[in-house]
Structure formats: structure tokens, C-alpha cells
Chains A and B, each alone.
Chain A
């Protein structure tokens, strides 16, 4: 199969959806003439023009609110947040307006928007630019949150998000943009990954490493080392945080009887806390030991290039937690 980068996969998803549906348009800071701060939208303005690919002022609340309003009249905006870290200045729009308008109108109004952009640490940009807010938004009933780890998932999930009738927040990763992966050729048909379906990235029998986003790659790295130590780890990629594929999580844990959750977001009330609750509620008797977690160390993201990588989940810390279970 052909290989393209995660960045190219996202771009291809948007390009195909722009072609498929005239109501789809892209907007955000530097997405058009500048070709995207991280070059995800490169070439799309040149191809699709001013109407479909729109540069906005630095006004996240303003342009995301505008996108939400336009979606109520049937458009399908894809908003780029240069960093998901900038969500905080648009929080009212992202939560109250996008997340709750369907509910508060008794189901009369749909809000089919996508907000996408990178949400990760590890690039030495300090705490204001290193948020992983998937737990914050997954905490809001009415919102969907997906976090692709591979190029194929990035393309398939983004296309599904654009076609979804509810708001979908796609959390990407600047450290994944350049990584290549196999993605089916567009000539072989529409490639969609349904939102809410987890994916086993490596089959195993001894312990379940449950992760999302770039942590999936870290978990795979740990699994490779663990194999050398005689431990056959399974790596389950959640792909979607809400809706959550609870069956896939429970199926894996019931098979391996051990779970280590790998989550780049913070541990306190984070995604991993939700999954740990699920496992203890539904699979307590299947466990051979406590559920372990490997998250970002629970402090604001540190700048220092000497230590930031150690603040994020590492293969070493995963292995350490796994070994405690044997």
C-alpha cells in the first residue's frame, strides 16, 4: 500500500470532502495564503479559492462562533486551531454554543462543525502551547472527541468528522505530522473510519496497553521491548475518546487480565481516570492486578528541552508499570 504522511493524510481528507460537498469550507488563522502554520492545508487555498478556504483574524471565539452559526444554516465548517491550546479563548463557543445548542433546542438544531489542530506536548513551547484538552471536551455531553495516531486514522477519522452531524473535535499532534503510514489509495474508494471504534494496533495476550494519539506509538515501542523480556503486550488505540469504545477496552482487558493506560493528557480527572473507572466497574473480577497509568507528569508543561520529553509518557515508564504487574 502507498505511504503518505499524517499531514498529507489530513490534507487529502479535507481536499476530498471539499470536492464532495459544496457546504464544506475551511477557516482559521493562516490556513489559506500562508498554507497553514503546520502546512496541513498547503495548496488547498490555491486549489479551492477564497470562498472555500478562509484566513481569519486571530479571533478564535469570533471565527469559531461564526462557524457554529453557519453550521446551523447547513454549512459544514472545518476550523483549524493553530494549537488546541488556544481553545481557552473560545471555550464558551466550543462548549455552550457548539456542544449544547442541540440539547437546549430540544433537538431542533444540529451543529455539524469540525475543529481540528494539534494538541500535544514535547515541542518545548511551554505550558500555554502544550495543552492536551481531550478530557476537557470529552467531559461535555454533546461533543465528540477523536485523537488519531496514524496517517490512516487521521484521514479516515477527519472525513468521518466532516460528515458527522454533531460537533467533532479532532486532536492532532505536531510530532506526528511528518510520520508516514499506509493509507489506502483514493482510487480504491472512500476511506472512512467510523467515530467510536477502537483499533488493536498490536495483538497480545499478557497485558493491555490502552492509549490514544502519539501515546499509541510510545506504547508500541514499549511493547517491542517487553516482547524481548517475554511479555506479550496488546496495544489498543482508542482513536475516539467520546464516544468511547468500551467493548473493545473490556474485551482486551478480559483477555490479558492486566491494564496499563497510556495517556499524554494529565492524570487528574483525565481520560485515563475515566477508563480506569470503566475497567473497575465492568471487569474488576477479570483483573490480576491494579490498573496502572502512565500519563504526563502532573504539572504544567515544562519548557526545558532537557527534561520535557520525560514529562510525557515514555516507553521506560510504561515498561516499569507493566513489570509491576508480573
Chain B
């Protein structure tokens, strides 16, 4: 196995950088665990798609992003949101449907956004975000910015038509974009083998003359090495890349997916947890490098646990949205207070 710790993009990471990566993965893990508990207590409505098991992908990718790099993803979006710097408080409040949530309680679990952090969601329809991500890359090139778009999608999204339209246009127009397939092996309850005629997902790029690579998603160093190469290709050559990052989710498609131990074996889940848990892989890596102690890692974990206790408290004590707010944030000119014929945008009974 390659030692990605020696890769140029990784070899100069400081102790602080490495601890921050651990902190972010820990934050995501603890956030998801806290939200699972709240969901089971009936505090969260709708669906809850947990990112537990996939943390190294979002954190590894975001750790490479600069001011002009942008991200977009699908509905398993909490990990990316926290990785770009959204707070546990605003995200937890959104899950609870509170006015203090990142989308004022209007989006919910699947629809987190933070444009000020170059994070464009949080999209609920499988593969629906892929052309939007293409558009982010298009705009960066149009505006002559030195950045690229990272477009995250699941393995299931690769079988949607719009994904293929998007790949074709990205390659045809030389758009600075990196498509990151987070392949966790299952599109809801259907395994990759049962849903895809060709399971080597990175080869989908061949049809569009696009560069591609398959990576293991449990190791931040490997994720960073592969994604950095793709980002450089986007920025220097305006060429898109398709990456398949192999990962795994410990829980069901959503928490409402009660069958997830029927379409896959408990042994499979335990095997991944035991051998590929991204937090353990990273902490073992750091400990083996000798620069970081278990105590330092434990202190981070404790801090993240405390952060979630505070976030839950914040979310629970926050006000719900008002009924009047239902009509806000629909049309910009109404929100800005200068509609031509304001009252007639809506059929108000």
C-alpha cells in the first residue's frame, strides 16, 4: 500500500492541521450521534441520513479547499456542512426545525446551505445537485477565478440521467469541477451490484473522455492525495475529474431504513467498523507518527461531546418559526420590501 503520508500534499501538514482534521471528523461523528438520539426521541421530523463512517471523505476534501473552491452535495449533507465550518448549533437547530437553524427551519436535514462558506447545499433529489455543481464550476471559469467546484454524490446517483448529461457537458466545455462519488455500496437498500451494470464507477468517466480515479475513503491522506490531483487538474487545465471514493455508512440509508441489517450482513458492518473506521484509522496514523498523544485526541473528543450537549440545548431552547415566516424567503423582492404588486404573489386564503 502506498504511504500517502509522504505525498507532497500531506508531508507538510502541521500538527495543528492534523489535529484539526481529527477534530472535524470527531465533530461530525458526535453531531450525528447526538442527532440520532434526538431522532429516536421524536425531536426531529422527516428523514435523517447519517454520515457516520464516511467522515474522512468530506473532511479530507474540505481540508484542500481555498477561498475560490466551492462545494455542493446531496441529502447526506451534515458532514460537509460541519467540515466547511457551519456551527453545530445552527445545524442542530435546523434538524429540530427551529428559527435559529441554518435555513430558519425551512430546509431540514437534507437542505443545509452556507453560501458564505462556499457551501451550496444540501439537495434532496438524487443527482439533482450534479448540474448545479457543474454550474458553480462554469461560473468560476466565466468569472476567471482560480477555483474549482467539488460535487459530491452517492453511488446511486450515478444511475440518474442528469448525472450523465452533467459529465458530458463538464468534459465538453472544460469545466473546473471534481465529481466525488462517495460510494458506500448501497443506493438505499439496493447494493451496487444489484443496481449497476458496471460496478467500477470511475470507469463511467471513460464514456466522456474524462480523467478518473478510485480511492479508498477511510484514510484522510489518501483522500487528500487523490482529490488534490483532481483539483489541480481542474484549476490548471480546466479539466473535470470523476473520483470514486470507497466508503461505508454504519447506519441505514436514513434512520427510517429499518431493513439495513437485512440487505447487508451485521458482519459486513462490523468488519468495516473494525478495520476501516476513518476516525480510528486517522488516530492510529497520528499516534504512529509519534507527534500526537492519545491524551490530545481524547481532549478533542471530550470537547466535541460537550459541544453537542450545548448544541442540543441551544436547539431545544430556540424558538420555532412563526406562521408568518412561511411566506418569507419565497421571492426576493417581497423580502426586500419592494414588490410591484406585493399581495398577489400568493393565493392567501
Contacts and interface: CB of A to CB of B under 8 A. Distances in A.
Given A101-B121, A107-B332, A108-B113, 20 more contacts: A57-B172, A61-B165, A62-B168, A62-B169, A66-B138, A67-B135, A70-B136, A73-B139, A97-B129, A102-B329, A102-B331, A105-B111, A107-B329, A108-B116, A164-B333, A165-B333, A166-B331, A196-B344, A242-B345, A244-B344
B315 to A, nearest CB: 15
Interface in A39-97: 51, 56-57, 59, 61-75, 92-93, 96-97
B115 interface: yes
A208 interface: no
A196 B72 contact: no
B347 A61 contact: no
A44 B287 CA distance: 62
Contact of A243 (B140, B161, B166, B344): B344
A62 B340 contact: no
Interface string B313-349: 0000000000000001111110100011101111100
Contacts of B332: 102, 107, 110, 165-166
Interface in B25-41: none
A274 B165 contact: no
Contacts of B343: 246
Interface stretch (B4-12, B98-106, B211-219): B98-106
Interface of A: 25, 51, 56-57, 59, 61-75, 92-93, 96-97, 101-110, 141-142, 144, 164-166, 194-197, 242-247, 274
8 closest cross-chain pairs (CB), A and B = A69-B135, A65-B131, A62-B165, A107-B329, A69-B132, A106-B104, A59-B165, A73-B139
A244 B344 CA distance: 5
B335 A107 contact: yes
Nearest to A245: B341
B133 interface: yes
B344 A72 contact: no
B162 interface: yes
A105 B131 contact: no
Contacts of A57: 165, 168-169, 172
Contact of A274 (B129, B149, B341, B347): B347
Contacts of A62: 131, 134, 162, 165-166, 168-169
B117 to A, nearest CB: 11
Contacts of B70: 73
B120 A72 contact: yes
A97 B128 contact: yes
Contacts of B132: 65-66, 68-69, 72, 97
B343 to A, nearest CB: 7
A14 to B, nearest CB: 17
B130 interface: yes
Contact of B135 (A61, A68, A245): A68
A165 B165 CA distance: 27
B124 to A, nearest CB: 7
**Most chain B CB inside 10 Å of its own CB: which residue of A64, A69, A102, A142:** A69
Nearest to B113: A105
A131 B167 CA distance: 29
B242 to A, nearest CB: 15
Contact of A104 (B111, B142, B168): B111
A22 B139 CA distance: 12
A97 to B, nearest CB: 6
Contacts of A66: 131-132, 134-135, 138, 166, 169
Contacts of A194: 340
Contacts of B189: none
B34 to A, nearest CB: 22
A93 B130 CA distance: 10
B104 A96 contact: no
Contacts of B166: 62, 65-66
Nearest to A165: B332
A88 to B, nearest CB: 12
Given A59-B165, A103-B329, A25 B134 contact: no
B341 A197 contact: yes
Contact of A106 (B106, B125, B134, B339): B106
Contacts of A108: 103, 113-116
Contacts of A101: 113, 121
Contacts of A71: 135
Contacts of A106: 101-107, 113, 329
Contacts of A144: 331
A192 to B, nearest CB: 11
Contact of A69 (B120, B124, B330, B340): B120
12 contacts: A65-B162, A73-B70, A73-B135, A73-B136, A96-B128, A101-B121, A102-B331, A104-B111, A104-B122, A106-B102, A195-B340, A246-B341
Contacts of B235: none
Nearest to B132: A69
B120 to A, nearest CB: 6
A51 B142 contact: yes
A236 to B, nearest CB: 14
B124 A109 contact: no
Residue of A73, A74, A196, A246 with most chain B CB atoms under a 10 A cut-off: A73
B40 to A, nearest CB: 25
A153 B246 CA distance: 54
B288 interface: no
Nearest to B128: A92
Contacts of B133: 69
A164 B111 CA distance: 24
B24 to A, nearest CB: 22
A196 B172 CA distance: 39
A73 B168 contact: no
B317 to A, nearest CB: 19
B162 A105 contact: no
Contact of B139 (A65, A69, A96): A69
Nearest to B165: A62
Contact of B168 (A59, A75, A107, A244): A59
A105 B128 CA distance: 16
B224 interface: no
